[in-house]
Structure 1
Amino acid sequence: MLLTPGAVAYADWRAIYQGASPSLDPACRPAIAESFAAVGRILGAGEPVYGINTGFGKLASVRIEACDLATLQRNIVLSHAAGVGEPMPVPVARLMMTLKLASLARGASGVAPATVELLEAMLARGLVPVVPGKGSVGASGDLAPLAHMTAAMIGVGEMFVEGARVPAAKALADAGFSPLELGPKEGLALLNGTQFSCAYALAGLFEAERLYRVALLTGILSTEAAKGSDAPFDPRIHALRGHKGQIETAAALRRLMDGSPIRASHRLGDVRVQDPYCLRCQPQVMGAVLDLLRQAAATLVTEANGVSDNPLIFAETDEALSGGNFHAEPVAFAADMIAMALCEIGSLSERRIAMLVDPALSGLPAFLTPRPGLNSGFMIPQVTAAALVSENKQRAMPASVDSIPTSANQEDHVSMAAHGSRRLIEMAANVDAVLGIELLAGAQGCDFHAPLRSSEAVEAVRALIRAQVPTLTDDRHMAPDMEAAIALVRAPELLDAAGSLPGLDG
């Protein structure tokens, strides 16, 4: 796919996360070359310029001689490659590389055209640096993770190649590439920036968008299982409040329930005046989730298209201006928002599971088993869902408020965007499991209403479930059923079966 620096759409970043290979728009190459030439002219003027002929951070006052400039750039890469922990997942690491590629290609970082070309070629050939996931505080850039990425480009460290970990120098040689030789400013330009934090935040956002949509399906499935009302989805209710996400979510829920014989069976004579909030307030809660995710998406797409290293090169005036675009506070705030959204998606789903297993609330057999007592049915899957939701609540504490000074107090306020973003994938995995349990519980609840069926969309979802997991009549090993349901939550076929649902593109 064509990557136009500064103008990459949300859907394109999502496609890259899902495996698309980016190719730079050739129109950006003159700006890259001119920025690189400007660094040479700035050096020729003989003035001290941060990161080009000085030390870094607290050592910015130390002047570096011309003969040591190449060593300076190599040293910053090797010294800053100090991360720990499990490596970044390859899809997230590829996204980070692409974010860095797009940033450098804006022509404000002063790197050589060959540096940009190597990063682009590595993406095309499937060479992905092994980058430890921990070690960034999300200010002065994601220094340690990006230093590991850059180290691989100079032949130090390891790369993933077709799933195997290979020494970086060998991976480059096998692909026909030479290790990068860093020029003035290049090491700093590569390892300074928010691309690690932004990649993880975007990955969490993509997963949250998928889970929002799946939760609409599981929510309607549970509504049908409990013979809940569609009256709370009436468009007049939501128009009076006016929130866009709420209006769109209610419309989607109405469509999913439209034409359901189960719903029609209790329009007359139902003594319940109101359903529990977990059913009735789905448009309000999930609509707020949608609005929040859209706000996070706007922030992250802006960040993804920006330039966040330091100093920045302005070729038209041959200036290197030192600022603070590397501070990842916007990313940290967006990550905190996504964490809250993930927490609420799972929390509302767990409340519906709990409602379904309680005969006093659902009107169904206790724990959704035909013979409660002899069988425990869905008793413990609900406990598992509760455990996962509680874990996510703990993880959802805002990371952005937890600053700690670094670099001898030169970097005295940091964003904590890195781990604020990194937690999102694990939180999303917890929500996958909660929604998987709700899929099973909702389908089981609907089975008790046979021969009545639900709407066409819901029956398509039920058919997918029942193709893999039969109705629970007597207790059996639950873990395989749950794993099958979780896999279905993650599979595109589930959302395909339901038709168009709101998302972050519109």
Structure 2
Amino acid sequence: MITMDGSSLNLEQMKRILFHGERVEPCKEALKRVVESREVVEQIVSSSRVVYGITTGFGKFSDVLIPQEETAALQRNLIHSHACGVGNPFSEMTARAMLILRANALLKGFSGVRPIIIERLLQYVNEGIHPVVPEQGSLGASGDLAPLSHLVLPLLGEGEVFFEGVRRDTASVLAEKNIDPIELKAKEGLALINGTQAMTAVGVIAYLEAEMIAYQSESIAAMTFEGLEGIIDALDADVHLAREYQEQVDVADRMRKLLHGSQLVTKQGEKRVQDAYSLRCIPQVHGASWQVLGYVKEKLEIEMNAATDNPLIFDEGEKVISGGNFHGQPIAFAMDFLKIGMAELANISERRIERLVNPQLNDLPPFLSPKPGLQSGAMIMQYCAASLVSENKTLAHPASVDSIPSSANQEDHVSMGTIGARHAYQIIQNVRRVLAIEWICAMQALEFRGVFLASPAMQKWYQEGRNIVPSITEDRIFSHDIELLASWMREVH
């Protein structure tokens, strides 16, 4: 059980909740802050004090005063009008992450919601009731308004949810589970949808998958290194300590450990003086991608524990400030950076694939074919990798450099962070498939060299791969092999 308090949630805990189904609960001390904050909202309403989003309309309607008796209707109307997302739904895991992050932000006690709102969000997490949330329609400021509105609908007994793997009408699921819909009170609708939880949820899942892929890429690159009889001197610790990037040093260290005991690696001058960059610069390139991952992790863990709605309540109600923490620019930049860092892992992997299959660049059978000419072997797998890499270059265009004004120019600069996060996730899926292709080719090269000559770590990695994909003894439908390996890589946590 993970206890959430609004300030200490981390990516390791998110991994346990999302990938392993660990249950969650709110911290009792945090709920006390929530109650105190709620009392402030009720005082504002009862005294008819003019405060944005509580006794006024929203966006350009912020100068329209709302009578006390209509403050609840204001919140309900907000959710209905803003639930205009389109396209395919986010995955159940993404919706689950959104529920967690929204609850955690409200637990900080700056938002003025009742405890039941947070408790219901976490109940949905524990019960596996995941709102159907369309992927498209967010500008990333004032937060993820459209996606989060769809997240809120099931709290009201409306919209659709995924439950036990089936997409269903919310009302029927709540009736089955004996859960009563919630009626939103003053400020609660605004507090629930004014935030960055859609882009951050996608970013969290993208990061967790990217981190796993980055480690896997090193094992795959090490097998290619053996298949091409790479020059081990380039991985010498002194080379990397001389540059002092810790991530580069760490990659080189892990590569040396993976290749320890190999009889296939060579020394300078033994077969050639230098390797191509795609082998020689693995620590430099992969290490730089690890630097990106470090930056993204830092920003995500800050945002996961941030109050991002508006207005925020401070000093027991003495200060109620309308600010802009809902603006997704920090996450937009992080996601665009993640796109670039991960795309490069695929770029260099595809170049290693080319060196494995091109007979002009190695002494292996052309295209690793068992019968060159009669059988094409891995020829078109390289085409596929090249296509995925090219697609990534398009997706890697930064979303954060774009902005379109909204709400009659009141909201005149937006982040497009959710688009950036979605594209980052797409890139990561492509990267995994490119690496799966490299793994298939590297295993085949290792067979030609002699698996028994490989390092113990690579012999184990080879066997892991061969448990999923058999050796290429004749041409077959390689699409199945690529997807099987990619699926295995995604499911290993």
TM-score of the superposed pair, with normalisation by structure 1: 0.95
Greater shift, 117-126 or 305-314, is seen at 117-126
Greater shift, 431-440 or 470-479, is seen at 470-479
Q: Please give the alpha-carbon distance, in whole angstroms, between the structure 2 residues aligned to 1:269 and 1:399.
A: 47
Q: Please give the alpha-carbon distance, in whole angstroms, between the structure 1 residues aligned to 2:404 and 2:130.
A: 31
**Cα displacement (A) at 1:268:** 8.1
- The SS at the match of 2:410 is coil
Aligned match of 2:47 in 45, 48, 52? 45
AA at the equivalent of 1:199: A
**Cα displacement (A) at 1:207:** 1.2
Aligned match of 1:386: 386
Aligned match of 2:406: 406
Aligned match of 1:180: 182
Aligned match of 2:14: 13
Q: Please give the alpha-carbon distance, in whole angstroms, between the structure 1 residues aligned to 2:470 and 2:14.
A: 38
Q: Please give the alpha-carbon distance, in whole angstroms, between the structure 2 residues aligned to 1:366 and 1:412.
A: 57
AA at the equivalent of 2:83: A
Aligned match of 1:335: 335
- The SS at the match of 1:2 is strand
Contact 2:336 2:424 in 1 (8 A): no
Q: 1:46 to 1:480 in 2, by over 3 A?
A: closer
Q: Please give the alpha-carbon distance, in whole angstroms, between the structure 2 residues aligned to 1:424 and 1:192.
A: 23
Aligned match of 1:97 in 84, 99, 121? 99
Q: Please give the alpha-carbon distance, in whole angstroms, between the structure 1 residues aligned to 2:189 and 2:166.
A: 26
Contact 1:125 1:175 in 2 (8 A): no
Q: Please give the alpha-carbon distance, in whole angstroms, between the structure 1 residues aligned to 2:381 and 2:451.
A: 26
Aligned match of 1:167: 169
Aligned match of 1:113 in 112, 115, 123? 115
Q: Is 2:32 aligned against 1:27?
A: no
1:98-150 CA-partner distances (Å, limit 9, x unpaired): 00000001100000111111111111111111111110010011000101111
1:187-240 CA-partner distances (Å, limit 9, x unpaired): 100011000010011111111111111110110111100000111111111111
Aligned match of 1:502: none
Aligned match of 1:63: 65
Contact 1:136 1:144 in 2 (8 A): yes
Q: Please give the alpha-carbon distance, in whole angstroms, between the structure 2 residues aligned to 1:11 and 1:393.
A: 30
Q: 1:250-399 counterparts in 2 under 5 A?
A: 250-263=252-265, 266-267=266-267, 270-399=270-399
AA at the equivalent of 1:331: I
Q: Please give the alpha-carbon distance, in whole angstroms, between the structure 1 residues aligned to 2:159 and 2:397.
A: 34
**Cα displacement (A) at 1:14:** 2.2
AA at the equivalent of 2:16: A
What is the number of residues matched between the two proteins?
A: 491
Aligned match of 1:230: 232
Q: 1:451 to 1:69 in 2, by over 3 A?
A: closer
- The SS at the match of 2:383 is helix
- The SS at the match of 1:359 is coil
Q: 1:99-248 counterparts in 2 under 5 A?
A: 99-248=101-250
- The SS at the match of 1:261 is coil
1:414-445 CA-partner distances (Å, limit 9, x unpaired): 00001110122222111111111111100000
Q: 1:48 to 1:221 in 2, by over 3 A?
A: same
Contact 1:42 1:318 in 2 (8 A): no
Q: Please give the alpha-carbon distance, in whole angstroms, between the structure 1 residues aligned to 2:285 and 2:56.
A: 52
Q: Please give the alpha-carbon distance, in whole angstroms, between the structure 2 residues aligned to 1:376 and 1:45.
A: 79
AA at the equivalent of 2:282: Q
**Cα displacement (A) at 1:4:** 2.7
Q: Please give the alpha-carbon distance, in whole angstroms, between the structure 1 residues aligned to 2:160 and 2:480.
A: 36
- The SS at the match of 1:316 is helix
Q: Provide structure 2 residue ranges, at least 5 long, that are not aligned to the other structure.
A: none
- The SS at the match of 2:274 is coil
Contact 2:143 2:195 in 1 (8 A): yes
Contact 2:268 2:274 in 1 (8 A): no
1:329-361 CA-partner distances (Å, limit 9, x unpaired): 001001001111120111111110001111222
**Cα displacement (A) at 1:315:** 4.7
Greater shift, 407-416 or 164-173, is seen at 164-173
Q: 1:268 to 1:62 in 2, by over 3 A?
A: closer
Question: RMSD between aligned alpha carbons?
Answer: 1.4
Q: Please give the alpha-carbon distance, in whole angstroms, between the structure 2 residues aligned to 1:304 and 1:35.
A: 20
Q: Please give the alpha-carbon distance, in whole angstroms, between the structure 1 residues aligned to 2:96 and 2:23.
A: 9
Contact 1:17 1:94 in 2 (8 A): yes
Q: Please give the alpha-carbon distance, in whole angstroms, between the structure 2 residues aligned to 1:450 and 1:366.
A: 17
1:45-102 CA-partner distances (Å, limit 9, x unpaired): 3321100010000000000011111110100000000000111100111001100000
Q: Please give the alpha-carbon distance, in whole angstroms, between the structure 2 residues aligned to 1:466 and 1:35.
A: 58
AA at the equivalent of 2:430: N
Aligned match of 2:87: 85
Q: Provide structure 1 residue ranges, at least 5 long, that are not aligned to the other structure.
A: 496-506
Q: Please give the alpha-carbon distance, in whole angstroms, between the structure 2 residues aligned to 1:187 and 1:57.
A: 14
Q: Please give the alpha-carbon distance, in whole angstroms, between the structure 1 residues aligned to 2:142 and 2:268.
A: 64
AA at the equivalent of 2:354: A
Q: 1:451 to 1:5 in 2, by over 3 A?
A: closer
Contact 1:22 1:123 in 2 (8 A): yes
**Cα displacement (A) at 1:476:** 2.5
Contact 1:358 1:367 in 2 (8 A): yes
Contact 1:42 1:319 in 2 (8 A): no
TM-score of the superposed pair, with normalisation by structure 2: 0.97
- The SS at the match of 1:50 is coil
Q: Is 2:465 aligned against 1:433?
A: no
- The SS at the match of 1:464 is helix
AA at the equivalent of 1:198: T
